[in-house]
Structure 1
Amino acid sequence: MDDATRAPARISVAPAPQAAQPADPRIPPRDRVVTRDLVDRWARERPDKTFLVFDDDGETWSYAQFRDRVVQTALGLQGLGVGQGDHVLVFAPNGREQIRVYFALNYLGAVYVPINTAYRGKLLEHVVEVSDARLAVVHGDLAPRLSEVATARLERLVILGPEAETRLPAVRYEEALLPETGELAAPARPIQPWDPMAIIYTSGTTGPSKGVLASYLHIFSNAGPETWPFVTEDDRYLINAPMFHIGGMGPMYVMLARGGSLAMVERFDTATFWDSVRNTGATVCFLLGVMATFLEKRPPAPDDADTPLRLALVVPLGEEALRFGKRFGIEIRTIFNMTEISSPLVSEANPSAVGACGTARPGVEVRLVDENDCEVARGTVGEMLVRTDRPWAMNSGYHRNPEATAKAWRNGWFHTGDAFRQDDAGNFFFVDRMKDAIRRRGENISSFEVEVEVVAHPDVNEAAAVAVPSEVGEDDVMVVVAPVAGREIDPAALLEFLRGRMAYFMVPRYIRVLPELPKTPSAKVMKTELRAQGAAGAWDREAAGIRVKGERFAG
């Protein structure tokens, strides 16, 4: 397939049915929110503006070329029986084909359902069945996994990339989704801002993955022009997260909503990150987890600040993130978000409150509550609850999971499952996932706050703090660390470093050193795997005879 070739001119598009704009002033017009209307609008108003730049070979797509590809792929999907409201799975790495399919599905009014490329076995079987999809677009290397699971509803596959043998009927992407002629039928009814555009699966760290129903208005509110006014139509957003993650698929849509542009890289790579920024002209990026730490700990170079990048959104906001901004001459901001909500916390530029996630943005209400949903005092840790003043600005529930939906949305607020505290200036500070909190000898410990101190050590590239069972009851603290390239970590020296930086009850008992921490494809540390390994074989400060000043009793 030569993707530089525009779709054939012999493809026509039937006019979409029209409807009155929503009367509610909180809901923007459809041509600012609905994918089909946005694709048509920008192809008409700015056909020659670059929408996409690909890092691998420098290829660019203008808005007119982008629409041609979307329409062509939509016609192919229509030929396979996909219509408005249908759910279609996409099980593939980032690439041109997935971009086409994502936007083509929404152009039809269908629902994009991407799957984590690491899924297999029972977890894969679960998400396929819950999706209600009859068709899946699958990379050839991943297709055999679908043949290994029971998929009663799935009827047909579209294979992209290498050939694959499957037990389900399959067609090649090039044969099915790149038609030369035809007419694209109009949706049966107007596509509305509150219609579902995607089902995005959560990571499933505490149970089976849940499918988050995301409307156009939800993803628009997540990082659109009103939520992130500091990102404009003149920016080029670097996409380095997988498209099955809100961090990959969300920015693609919201830059379309701005009439801006995108730079696509295969994945985040510390060694090639700045080359990708320069090659694509990217001006904005989002750095998850330890990405900023990795970049900040690389050896200095004379051209560190000589890049087009002007803004990085860094989560979480540690000391390394602020040093990263100063070193590379870019603006730093941070936010708090999750798949189900829409960036309720946003910081000012270059915030001074290290560790803060920002303040509540306009249009959202945020509360911190106890286990009975009663407000806690300022400065006290509580679970974060969120609601918005715009209808449909957050998730529409969990698909085919009414129990989880009711539990999350109880009392009219969405329960994030995250513990926070708020200072007198209105800044919110993430404390921990409720499930990740550690309790040691009567003290509650934030794994996040432990990790912030551990990664401050110059030899530590990344760190995770987890609870391990204590022989005297409750938990002991274990940190798992990976070294900066070319360095080694001495557990005793790291412990000495930490004793002067944290409360005595937070100082870890166990330290395990690994070459790198296990992660999901979306760069989240797999703490369940670290907990499952336990403390066996880890360095133990008590076995080494090291006590921590302040201990009220010892094991």
Structure 2
Amino acid sequence: MDAPETWITPLTPLAFLRRSADVYPDKTAIVHGAERMSYAQFAAEAQRLARALRASGIGPGDRVACLLPNVPPMLVAHFGVPLAGAVLVAVNTRLSSEEVRYILDHSQASVLVVDSALRGTVEPIAGSLETVREIVNLVDPQGPDAGASVDGTSWDDLLARGGESGEHADGEDLAWEVADERSTISINYTSGTTGRPKGVQYHHRGAYLNSFGEIVHSYHDPSTVYLWTLPMFHCNGWCTPWAITAIGGTHVCLREVRGDAIWALIGEHRVTHLNGAPTVVTTIMNAAEARTLDYALVVTTAGAPPSPTTILEMEKMGFRIVHVYGLTETYGPYSVCQWQEEWRGLEEHARAKLQARQGVGMLQCEPLRVVETLGEDVADWASVQLVDVPHDGETMGEIVMRGNNVMSGYFRDPDATAKAFAGGWYHSGDLGVMHPDGYVELRDRAKDVVISGGENISTVEVEQAVLSHPAVLEAAVVGVPDEQWGERPKAFVVLRQGQSAEPGAIIDHVKGAIARYKAPRDVEIVEDLPKTSTGKIQKFELRAKEWGDATTRIRG
């Protein structure tokens, strides 16, 4: 007997806030400075925003953009915007005016909510946006403009259109549900380092399922106190706005990542969890306020493979490391380096090396594959063949994924979508190996591998060898021109405060850790490395400096 259609409820993370408001109405959901918002208030604010957007003419599928740091209205928008039937476009707060313009125009956003501290980014383009018909200004009580008035529509003005519960035309709150779980809940734009940013479409089903993966693999429960060190504009904060709300944890907002502010909030609220790239982890570990904790604080890290050295240092400070891997196109984390109990008895460096791998698919995801692609020259991307590489931990191939936690496609870019899903799997552009135990290890971005005299050199492997030097804080390795070999690796190194090391000593150290031919011939000591807003090192800037006018490397 077939189940009646009424037995099937479309999946949506909107249901998470409804449940937590029912189960934990008086519990603190959001902390921001002195501000406290209960789950009942959180839900009421999301309802008010949704009604306000509808009263402002926002209809199903319309895009609402937010240029906001990690503040309570950004959390509210993650529920209020889709509750109105609209699509959330969270914009990177570190972009230039022209980059923001492109995203707003390409996404065809109707409304833009902007933090007053970022007004300078919007002002040069405000009068020439193609589709934005209203700009809403938010003054954050914890921001630099606290207490200031703004011209035009304020956040409070917008919310006032939503009235209080029961005051809108329908006389009831909006339903925490959607008709189609495959409808788009948000569009996240890629960094655009190799071209125009692409709009990655997430659907309600994927956001719902990814939230469960975050809860399980990062060990969240109702006692979670989560510190927002990861930008909410980045993959919707890895779906964590929805995940923490689902489990009834507490969100602790943070406008900017500073070591002193992070440690102050850890001490004040006894933070149990935070997420971030390895560079954010480095900021935390090396802050003047850093100390060894008397409890285990779970740090979920991704964005670049953490070095085994970093993992060991963090564990000694009381942090519990969860290493995940993914991309904007996969709702953030897709795989996790799943802990195996037999690792506990290993020598610590051997164990940390295993923990630095990208691992296996999260519980809501399909298994990762590492493949060789055949037939890329065919006219039809769907007919491309994918052949799995041997599970020997040596043979490199491209990491591919598919399933519920892979984007539904690039917004308004069918050609790029077809290419990305060649052979029916999403192509990450990351090169890795498959170990005999089924764990994937990332070796490099395809564009970052150094091909020296025909030998493929993984910059990740070289970076981890450099980072094992006790004086090194951060490192980036790129290929630079070489007359004899075509290119060779070069390391850019940031030293720890108060430490010194000569380039030759670092090179000798690397030669003792990995094959000598992989070691960089040059090490340049620098004050800082160029990074994205999410803490990823921008290797393309380092390469451009070294290659000069040679904008295209030999292999394209």
Please name the residue that 2:132 is paired with.
154
Q: Within the alignment, does 1:51 sit opposite 2:43 as a pair? A: no
What amino acid sits opposite 1:364 in the alignment? E
Alignment of 1:489-504 (within 5 A): 489-504=501-516
Q: Map residues 430-449 of structure 1 onto 2, 5 A cutoff.
A: 430-449=442-461
Match of 1:397 in 2: 409
Distance in 1 (alpha carbons) for counterparts of 2:7 and 2:407: 19
How do residues 373-412 of structure 1 correspond to structure 2 at under 5 angstroms?
373-379=386-392, 380-388=395-403, 392-412=404-424
Q: Note if contact 2:62-2:87 (Cα within 8 Å) is conserved in structure 1.
A: yes
| Offset of residue 53 of structure 1 | 2.3
Structure 1 residue identity aligned to 2:525: V
Conserved? CA contact 2:244–2:250, under 8 Å: yes
Give the total of aligned pairs: 501
1:106 partner SS: helix
Shift of 1:221: 2.5
By how many angstroms is 1:517 displaced? 1.0
Alignment partner of 2:208: what SS?
helix
Of 220, 223, 227, the match for 1:231? 220
Question: Which among 139, 151, 158 is matched to residue 176 of structure 1?
Answer: 158
* TM alignment of 1:264-303, pairs within 5 A: 264-296=253-285
1:364 aligned partner: 366
The answer to whether the aligner puts 1:419 opposite 2:431 as a matched pair is yes
For normalisation by structure 1, the TM-score amounts to 0.83
Q: Deviations over 1:421-466 (max 9, x none)?
A: 0111122111011111111111111111111111121221111111
Segments of 5+ residues of structure 2 without an aligned counterpart are 140-144, 344-350, 375-385, 549-556
Matched position secondary structure for 1:53: strand
CA distance in structure 2 between the partners assigned to 1:529 and 1:317 by the alignment: 21
The offset of 1:325, in angstroms, is 4.3
- State the match for 2:196 in structure 1: 208
2:192 counterpart letter in structure 1: G
Partner SS for 2:227: strand
Which letter does structure 1 place at the counterpart of 2:388? E
Aligned to 2:377: none
Flag the 1:90–1:184 CA change in 2: closer, same or farther, 3 A. Answer: farther
Written as runs of structure 1 = structure 2, the 5 A alignment for 1:444-459 is 444-459=456-471
**Is the 1:83–1:187 contact (alpha carbons within 8 Å) kept by the matching residues of 2?**
no
Among 83, 103, 126, which residue is 2:79 paired with?
103
Of residues 193, 198, 204, the one that matches 2:181 is: 193
Deviations 1:187-246 (A, max 9, x none): 799444322111011111211111110112212232415873532333222221111102
2:313 to 291, 315, 324: 324
Q: 1:120 to 1:129 in 2, by over 3 A?
A: same
For residue 544 of structure 1, what is the aligned residue in structure 2? none
CA RMSD of aligned residues (A): 2.8
Distance in 2 (CA, whole Å) between partners of 1:139 and 1:360 is 37
| In 1, Cα distance between equivalents of 2:6 and 2:515 | 57
Residues 239 and 251 in structure 1, CA contact (< 8 A), matched pair in contact too: no
Q: CA deviation at 1:297?
A: 5.1
Q: Contact 2:448–2:459 (CA<8 Å) still a contact in 1?
A: yes
Partners of 1:109 and 1:191 within 8 A in 2: no
> In the superposition, relative to structure 1, how do residues 320 and 101 fare at CA in structure 2: closer, same or farther (>3 Å)?
same
Q: Does 1:336 align with 2:325?
A: yes
CA distance in 2, matches of 1:502, 1:184: 69
Q: 2:88 aligns with which of 93, 112, 117?
A: 112
Indicate if the aligned counterparts of 1:108 and 1:187 stay in contact, CA closer than 8 A: no
Q: Distance in 2 between matches of 1:44 and 1:132?
A: 36
Report % sequence identity: 27
Give the Cα separation in 1 of the matches to 2:318 and 2:312. 10
Aligned to 1:74, what secondary structure does the other structure show?
A: helix
Which shows bigger deviation, 462-471 or 94-103?
94-103
The gaps in structure 1 that reach 5 residues or longer are 1-18, 24-28, 537-555
